[in-house]
Structure 1
Amino acid sequence: MKKFEVSPLSLFGSLYNNRQLLLDLSWREITSRYKGSVFGMLWSMLTPILMLGIYTFIFSEVFQSRWPNINEGSRSSFALILFSGLIAFNFFSECVGRSPHIICSNPNFVKKVIFPLEILPCVTIISTLFHATIGLGILFIFELFAFGKIPATALLLPIAFAPLIFLTMGLTWLLAALGVYLRDIGQTIGIVLTGLLFISPIFFPMSSFPEKWRGLASLNPLAMPIEQIRNVLIFSKEIDTHYLMYYATTSLIIAWLGYAVFQASRKGFADVL
């Protein structure tokens, strides 16, 4: 039986060697989402705009949510703060939420011995990152329209976002593998993600958590990247070096561990499916 490599070098080597296939599959997934719809790819812009409007209305008008020390509760400021957090969360949520079904929904690829199955979770990452990029473009336009400028620290966004990408990639590989053997994961992951939505600093800052729960809330894997992304996009703050050292290192380790588990368990995929 063929033994699949699990080293970090094999990971990057596989992605590089299959880069064209990876891009082709990613584009196919992006376009297939809107196939047959009246507005087509326009939905990739309409959806975040509509969701931004809904969340902003509910939390700023119905629940009267306010962000501390931001222009006396300015709606524009609150909308931008909310939207920046949602972009990061939605990227993570969509990738992780779909991951248990990635292999199960592609049995034809599993039966092809020469097909690089390890790129399938990356296809989900790239297609979701495409929509996150569109959301960021909308945020920049709205920020420029509302405040007349985009902070210079926005140039640091790729550095702030990269650790979240690697963390998400590792979890996607892990859950894609486990989802083949434990189908219950696909049924429960939505509940977990809903819980993460409301304990992440999206609708309120981390400082709003009661002191006795703040330490526990900081264990949320989305808390640190959301705050760092918001800092560079909205608050003109530079990236915390602790975030880069601790979170980036942890994310890279999780990415490799997820890949290793995927490679170690893939030999049984065909038998289960």
Structure 2
Amino acid sequence: MNPHAEPSASLRSLVCSLWNNRQLIGRMGYREIVGRYQGSVIGLLWSVLNPILMLGIYTFVFSVVFQARWGEAQESRGQFAVVLFAGLIVHGLFAEVLNRAPQLVLGNVNYVKKVVFPLEILPVVQLVAAAFHAFISVLVLLGAQWIVNGAVPATALLLPLVAFPLLMLTLGCAWGLASVGVFVRDVGQLVVFATTVLLFLSPVFFPVHALPPMIQPWMQLNPLSFFIEQVRAVLVWGNVPNWSTLALFYLMSLGIAWMGFAWFQKTRKGFADVL
């Protein structure tokens, strides 16, 4: 790796970087996951307990305190919890990566100044850690689905097809924010605020059809709305994804990932001057 060479921002360079650094990404991702629970008494078990506790709290607040329902008169609290949790998993994955993205380069100054290191993998490592926790949450959701409804739909096997464009969209945004966070330190605070607002502007706690008809098209402009609905379709309702719209999101997500990667590569030479 030539430190004086202009970093390539092509789509081929993106794919090659992910492939060539796959072992490093795996090791750093493992360290990120294990390091998060280092020193705790029960360690990685928290990755299972956290989604269970979160599911219980949200279910109590919305189905018991606010008496919220998803639209069916005979809907049980357990059914409501499963539907709610599916939306929380999608938003949680997206928010976890984006909230940490502005600090990724700032928190690894030694990689910028002292060694030749593929900085572009830092957001990927964070995505790997977030995807691991989302995977554990999905297992918890499927377990709850089996307990509540007595079965898990076969369409759950289609989840990777729905998740891939979500991961690419998240990664593209993370690359962009990781770069901007070096030059504009306030962006980290803005991102945390934005992801919190996005929680309530996405169909996490309510279905899109519960909104007034004039507002529903605006809700659909939120890309998380599509992914939340499709994850619920394959994991909860037992429906196949909307293939035509999913294909469009594949193209859009790959385009955003490429643009985020290109921006990161074009601006990375200025990191050392700022840090």
Could you say which residue in structure 1 is the equivalent of 2:6?
Answer: 3
SS at match of 2:105: coil
Could you say which residue in structure 1 is the equivalent of 2:187?
Answer: 185
SS at match of 1:211: coil
Out of 166, 172, 175, the residue aligned to residue 173 of structure 1 is 175
SS at match of 2:67: coil
Could you say which residue in structure 2 is the equivalent of 1:234?
Answer: 236
Q: 1:21 corresponds to which letter in structure 2?
A: L
Cα deviation code 1:46-101 (max 9, x no counterpart): 110000000000000111110013x6221111010011111111000000111000
- Measured after TM superposition, the shift of residue 243 of structure 1 is 2.2
- Measured after TM superposition, the shift of residue 113 of structure 1 is 4.7
Q: Distance in 1 between matches of 2:244 and 2:209?
A: 18
Could you say which residue in structure 2 is the equivalent of 1:140?
Answer: 142
For the pair 1:60 / 2:60, whether they are aligned, the reply is no
- Measured after TM superposition, the shift of residue 114 of structure 1 is 2.0
Out of 97, 100, 103, the residue aligned to residue 99 of structure 2 is 97
Give the superposed CA RMSD: 1.0
Could you say which residue in structure 2 is the equivalent of 1:253?
Answer: 255
Out of 22, 25, 28, the residue aligned to residue 25 of structure 1 is 28
Cα deviation code 1:89-130 (max 9, x no counterpart): 100000011100010000011114521001010000000000
Aligned pairs for 1:208-227 (under 5 A) are 208-227=210-229
Could you say which residue in structure 1 is the equivalent of 2:49?
Answer: 46
Percent sequence identity over matched residues?
49
Q: Distance in 2 between matches of 1:252 and 1:209?
A: 30
SS at match of 2:241: coil
Q: Distance in 1 between matches of 2:25 and 2:140?
A: 26
The TM-score with structure 2 as length reference comes to 0.97
Q: Distance in 1 between matches of 2:177 and 2:273?
A: 18
- Measured after TM superposition, the shift of residue 190 of structure 1 is 1.1
Q: Distance in 1 between matches of 2:228 and 2:155?
A: 15
Q: 1:147 to 1:73 in 2, by over 3 A?
A: closer
Q: Distance in 2 between matches of 1:237 and 1:106?
A: 43
Q: Distance in 1 between matches of 2:85 and 2:257?
A: 26
SS at match of 2:197: helix
Could you say which residue in structure 1 is the equivalent of 2:199?
Answer: 197
Q: 1:5 corresponds to which letter in structure 2?
A: S
- Gaps (5+ residues) in structure 1? none
Q: Distance in 2 between matches of 1:263 and 1:62?
A: 49
**Number of matched pairs:** 272
Q: 1:210 corresponds to which letter in structure 2?
A: P
